[in-house]
Amino acid sequence: MSGGKHGTVLKEVPVREAIGLVLAHDLTQIIPGQFKGRLFKKGHVVAEADIPKLLDIGKEHIYILELGDGELHEDDAAGRMAAALQGDGLLLTEPHEGKVAIKSALDVPALAVIEPSIVHAINELGEIALATLRTDAVVLPGGQLAATRVIPLFVPEKKVAAVEQLVRDYRSRHEGRGPIGLKPLRKFRIGLLTTGGEVFSGRIEDKFGPAVSRIVESLGSEVAEQRFAPDDRQTIVKEIHYLKQQSYDMIVVTGGMSVDPDDRTPAAIKDAGAEIVSYGTPMLPGSMLLMGYLEETPIMGLPGCVMHDPYTSFNVLLPRILAGETITREDIVTMGYGGLHTAATWDTGIGRQRS
């Protein structure tokens, strides 16, 4: 292999003849079901005691690398790309096997803010890679939202310079904001109203309260108060007005969201004076969710699936509200693309399998 003025030299050396030589890249060890990680770091000087370990991971030969002018080692290139992308609230890991992770340095959950066009432009350069979460994905404290990677052992320095220029140009157009960032979630105090005669009368146990509290608390907020009401429109309106008077940051109403004659919640939310953004979303599960605003206070009507499905339209919209965003009709309409979630779906937005 060669590159630059003098050309990069990548020399293959039998491992038993490598004592005293310097490794050109990290070497990984994999023990199925037990361990995967770096066994030796780039720059490690091979000792006689290392030979059995190298043979154990299948290394009969190792590479010794002498970079030519205008070439960058994979670790240095990945580090420079990540440094260009780093912004407020982000931290970088040390280069490892040609990779650098970009993580949240915040102590609260946050939304990932990602500009797809820059991600695509960087990956179009070839031989280098930028992988990210989708924008609006929830990132927990210390969580990873992006990673840079170099594919070969070395790349032309001009490719990394091109990444740096792309990011500089983007920042110049967006008042210094980079294409990868975080929007911290606020801590909301939420008023919860659970409707339904069967729960109000005590015939069945309330399952909505614990489910909503679990989701809310996972994002750093709290259900400050839970009230109960029968399937009576006037009573529901009265309870909504009560919660509004308590100055909660948000009001959530559960139950009675279908089209059955006894389900009075959507009409009651409207009668309470809320401006309805949408009753219904193009997402499954969670199509019967209602989104609205009672003056400046967000108000949501939640369908029954929130009690038992691990990921619904509530999980999509709640973090954006906590981040201070105002949900619009357009936001609801675009939820249909990628909005079908089944038991076997992999959640690429937050990196866990739904089951």
CATH number, domain containing residue 86: 3.90.1170.30
Do 102 and 76 share a domain, yes or no? Answer: yes
| Prediction pTM value | 0.82
Q: What is residue 84's predicted lDDT score, i.e. its pLDDT?
A: 98
Q: What is residue 7's predicted lDDT score, i.e. its pLDDT?
A: 62
Do 194 and 342 share a domain, yes or no? Answer: yes
Q: Single out the residue of 111, 118, 112, 78 nearest to residue 96, CA to CA.
A: 78
Note whether 180 and 113 are within 8 A (CB). Answer: yes
DSSP-assigned letters across all residues of 218-285: HTT-EEEEEEEE-S-HHHHHHHHHHHHHTT-SEEEEES--SSSTT--HHHHHHHTTPEEEEE--S-BS
Q: Which domain holds residue 33?
A: 9-66
Do 120 and 138 share a domain, yes or no? Answer: yes
Query: 22: which DSSP letter?
Result: B
Do 225 and 265 share a domain, yes or no? Answer: yes
Do 173 and 209 share a domain, yes or no? Answer: no
**CATH code of the domain covering residue 39:** 3.90.105.10
Do 174 and 89 share a domain, yes or no? Answer: yes
Do 195 and 342 share a domain, yes or no? Answer: yes
**CATH code of the domain covering residue 308:** 3.40.980.10
Residue 124, C-beta contacts closer than 8 angstroms, at least 6 positions apart: none
Do 117 and 130 share a domain, yes or no? Answer: yes
- Tell me if 42 is assigned to some domain: yes
- Tell me if 26 is assigned to some domain: yes
In this prediction, the residues of the chain whose per-residue pLDDT falls under 70 are 1-9, 65, 259-263, 343-355
- Tell me if 3 is assigned to some domain: no
Do 152 and 291 share a domain, yes or no? Answer: no
Within 10 angstroms of residue 329's Cβ, the number of other Cβ atoms is: 11
- Tell me if 122 is assigned to some domain: yes
Final residue of a structural domain among 50, 66, 82: 66
Three-state SS at 61 = strand
Domain count, the chain: 3
Do 240 and 280 share a domain, yes or no? Answer: yes
Instruction: Give residue-wise pLDDT tens across range 134-178.
Output: 999 999 999 999 999 999 888 999 999 999 999 999 999 999 999
Do 245 and 285 share a domain, yes or no? Answer: yes
- Tell me if 106 is assigned to some domain: yes
Q: Single out the residue of 328, 324, 193 nearest to residue 251, CA to CA.
A: 193
Do 223 and 294 share a domain, yes or no? Answer: yes
Final residue of a structural domain among 128, 162, 184: 184
Note whether 345 and 285 are within 8 A (CB). Answer: no
Final residue of a structural domain among 184, 215, 250: 184
Q: What is residue 154's predicted lDDT score, i.e. its pLDDT?
A: 84
Distance (Å, whole) CA 310 – CA 313: 10
Q: What is residue 261's predicted lDDT score, i.e. its pLDDT?
A: 52
